[in-house]
Amino acid sequence: MLEKIKSQLLPFNAKLIAVSKKKPNSSIEELYQAGQRAFGENRVQELVEKHETLAKDIEWHMIGHLQKNKVKYIAPFVTWIHAVDSIELLDIIEKQAKKNERTINVLLQFKIAQEDSKFGIDTQALISKLNPNDYKNVRLAGVMGMATFTDNQEQIREEFKALKNIFNNLKAGHFSNSEYFKEISMGMSGDYLIALEEGATMVRIGSLLFGKRN
């Protein structure tokens, strides 16, 4: 399955994040042996444990909702944080990254799904308060979003288009001076092919690679 997904991503030049949440180290090691290096987790404790026990050249992506008081546990090693949904969280990541003398790549999460249960920044107003120059150890690298969990392909496509639009506007406006603002993290096992067509540069795939989670 890894090879198949990689070949689907190739024409789009998109990056695969293997979402290993709730999966044992042995499953991760199997993909690691096959060459996969970018893995995603959505819980801090599980991420920390896996980082401690697995190969040190794994590139870890925190993809889930992140509580401010837990940033300190992952700041020493995490490479990407996908779901940044407030300026307060961004400021704490900056502080912790600095403390660890590291650079952490972050993506701003936007609410694109119809369902209101999803986290995300829901107004451009919030963005206008964000000054890219305030951040030295945080690299503002793009946007992230999750489509509604539905069989309606057209709805999913519209939501991905909306995220791409937000990205384009930010890139042309707020982040026009940034060489790093270029990533769009969208698409999971059920909808990544649509996400690729709509401009995803990173897809986050779990169950399709590792099998169903309990």
Residues in contact with ligand PLP by the rule CB under 6 A: 19, 21, 42, 63-64, 146, 188-190, 204-208
Both tokens of 97, joined, read 């990254």
Q: Rg for the chain (alpha carbons), in Å?
A: 16
**Least CB distance from residue 182 to ligand PLP, whole Å?**
20
**Least CB distance from residue 153 to ligand PLP, whole Å?**
15
**Length of the chain as a residue count:** 214
Closer CB to ligand PLP, residue 18 or residue 90?
A: 18
Closer CB to ligand PLP, residue 51 or residue 204?
A: 204
**Least CB distance from residue 39 to ligand PLP, whole Å?**
12
Say whether 81 sits in a helix, a strand or coil: strand
Contact 157, 186 (CB under 8 A): no
Closer CB to ligand PLP, residue 44 or residue 205?
A: 205
Q: Nearest residue by C-beta to ligand PLP? A: 206
Residues in Cβ contact with 105 at an 8 Å cutoff, skipping those fewer than 6 apart: 79, 80, 81, 139, 141, 180
13 conformational bin, left if phi > 0, alpha if psi -120 to 50, beta if neither:
left
Closer CB to ligand PLP, residue 21 or residue 95?
A: 21
**Least CB distance from residue 176 to ligand PLP, whole Å?**
28
CA dist 208 and 214 (Å) reads: 14
Closer CB to ligand PLP, residue 5 or residue 166?
A: 5
Contact 20, 42 (CB under 8 A): no
Angle of CA points 31, 164, 142, to nearest 5°: 60
**Least CB distance from residue 19 to ligand PLP, whole Å?**
4
